[in-house]
Structure 1
Amino acid sequence: MGRIAIVSAMHEELAAVLALMPDEHKQMVAGRSFALGHLNGHEVVVVLSRIGKVAAATTATVLMERFGVAQVLFTGVAGGLASDARVGDVVVATEFLQHDMDASPLFPAYEVPLYGRARFGTDPALTAALALAAQSVLQQGVLDAARLQDFGITRPQMHQGLIVSGDRFVSNRRESQQLQQSLPDALAVEMEGAAVAQVCHDYGVPFAAMRTVSDRADDDAHADFLKFVTHVASRYSAAILARFFAARA
């Protein structure tokens, strides 16, 4: 199977995942701390991509070139765009697009120049396995009802589809509505996934990603953000990845 990379943008998103690694040891490359070890018996390297597409692309390239990873999994949080992508839901990406890529009139809006495409798909088999793990965790429940109710979460759902990425934090209703109108099939918005998807495409490395919806990408997007990441999203990430790796034993 080879070494599997687990990537998030923020430490708070990865803390619970790192706690699952009994033999973690660190290696510094390109100013990043790569944690090597095992998760449920699988060889992994866990790293923070940092925030934004350039930082994420740098991290992904180091994972390929220095650590020779065979697969990449991205986990973290995103803002919900689709009406049914509510806070506490999990979105498993089937494809990514850069919503701020626009080289028109030389190329169509959103198309990455010289690639002939705007969308980069995730690996179907890896994505299906991640979606199955997410669905199982949400159905069984890893958080108590009181904790979920703190954030207005009642019955979290799993969605699959398009996630869009851009180098700005979408945090007002006007921007959110504009994205919904121009990209009506987009489920969620974040700042790294499309860059990692493009690098994985370049290297031919299977890629899958899941994001917990932390907000509705509107004027309240900043409210209790770190609290949500710490107490909800990171625990979902750890539980889903543990289930994912257990199923591959």
Structure 2
Amino acid sequence: MTTAILSALPEEQGSLMHALHGAQALEHAGRRFWRGELYGQPVVLALSGIGKVAAATTATLLAERFGARRMVFTGVAGGLGDGVQVGDVVVARDFLQHDMDASPIFARWELPGYGRARMPCDADLSTTLFEAANAYLAGAAGQSDAMNPTGNAGRAARAHQGLIISGDRFVSTSAESGALRQALGMAGHEALAVEMEGAAVAQVCHDYGLPFAAVRTISDRADDAAHVDFPHFVTHVASRYADGIVHGLLQGLSKT
């Protein structure tokens, strides 16, 4: 079964492409895809680009043209939930588009035609991904800086699982992140992290009946320092997380 591994930016995929055996580069619709074998599993690596439309296009191509039978997104996100700190990992249980609003015809955040606001991830695949994230963080505890990559002194990085929200906007002020948390929380949507692609890929996978899971490493707190923290984290930390967690995921999948 071919697993598609997506990220928005090259750094979010780490050195996975260099670890690919029998790599074959293919171009379609202005995108480059790498097909091969990674840690004993057939995979297709792809960069989705930034934003929901770019991500949806890439996911559709992976399903239609490259025969992907499950998809995994790896990347970074801004932390929203209480206790979700820089350097932590969030595995999605489901996704919501925080900029979807077809009211008053539909309830706010509801996806027209789906009768729901939240798009669930595949439970089994997400469990395997969450286990891989926990194992990576536990293994990194013995390394000098892996558990404290951004200055959270005395606190080990943690894995969380829950709702991630997506929108075509880089949330980078405390006022905006606070307003998002308050509005969503009042409706019962307690978001742990915010990013720009996952909900679109979740919707495409739902339409095609494909298992989907996503892991996001927290690069910032979606606050006034986000524009400073994000580039540093993506360059110096995100690639390490991607390598370790995806490796563990594919090892876990080989046992099923």
TM-score (norm 1): 0.96
Task: Report the CA distance shift for 1:244/1:149 in structure 2 as closer, same or farther (over 3 A).
Answer: closer
Residue 27 (structure 1) shift: 0.2
State which drifts further: 53-62 or 136-145: 136-145
CA contact (8 A) 1:143 1:232 kept: no
Partner of residue 136, structure 1: 135
CA contact (8 A) 1:78 1:214 kept: yes
Q: How do 1:161-172 residues align onto structure 2 when only pairs under 5 Å count?
A: 161-172=162-173
Offset from partner CA, 1:22-62 (integer Å, 9 cap, x none): 32221001100001111111100000000000000000000
Q: Distance in 2 between matches of 1:236 and 1:150?
A: 11
Q: What stretches of structure 1 move > 4 A for 4+ residues in a row?
A: 147-150
2:188 equivalent to 1:189? no
State which drifts further: 7-16 or 206-215: 7-16
Q: Distance in 2 between matches of 1:209 and 1:149?
A: 23
Partner of residue 5, structure 1: 4
State which drifts further: 137-146 or 198-207: 137-146
Q: 2:102 is aligned with what amino acid? A: A
Q: How do 1:11-90 residues align onto structure 2 when only pairs under 5 Å count?
A: 11-90=10-89
Q: Distance in 1 between matches of 2:213 and 2:145?
A: 31
Q: 2:27 is aligned with what amino acid? A: M
Partner of residue 231, structure 1: 236
Residue 225 (structure 1) shift: 2.2
Residue 223 (structure 1) shift: 1.3
TM-score (norm 2): 0.93
Residue 19 (structure 1) shift: 2.5
Residue 147 (structure 1) shift: 5.7
| % identical equivalent positions | 54
Q: 2:237 is aligned with what amino acid? A: V
Partner of residue 157, structure 1: 158
Task: Report the CA distance shift for 1:32/1:143 in structure 2 as closer, same or farther (over 3 A).
Answer: farther
Q: Distance in 2 between matches of 1:74 and 1:180?
A: 23
Q: Which runs of 5+ in 2 are unaligned?
A: none
2:209 equivalent to 1:204? yes
Offset from partner CA, 1:64-102 (integer Å, 9 cap, x none): 110111100000000000121100000000000000000
Q: 2:16 is aligned with what amino acid? A: V
Residue 194 (structure 1) shift: 0.3
Residue 148 (structure 1) shift: 5.1
Q: Distance in 2 between matches of 1:180 and 1:50?
A: 26
Q: Distance in 2 between matches of 1:228 and 1:213?
A: 9
Q: Distance in 1 between matches of 2:18 and 2:192?
A: 30
Offset from partner CA, 1:107-135 (integer Å, 9 cap, x none): 00000111111110000000000000100
CA contact (8 A) 1:142 1:236 kept: no
Q: Which runs of 5+ in 1 are unaligned?
A: none
Q: 1:166 is aligned with what amino acid? A: G
CA contact (8 A) 1:92 1:130 kept: yes
Q: Distance in 2 between matches of 1:81 and 1:73?
A: 22
| Matched residue SS, 2:218 | strand
| Matched residue SS, 2:5 | strand
CA contact (8 A) 1:71 1:206 kept: yes
| Matched residue SS, 2:90 | strand
Q: 2:73 is aligned with what amino acid? A: F
CA contact (8 A) 1:72 1:205 kept: yes
| Matched residue SS, 1:225 | helix
Q: How do 1:210-249 residues align onto structure 2 when only pairs under 5 Å count?
A: 210-249=215-254
CA contact (8 A) 1:214 1:228 kept: yes
Q: Distance in 2 between matches of 1:37 and 1:142?
A: 31
Q: CA RMSD in A?
A: 1.4
Matched positions, count = 248
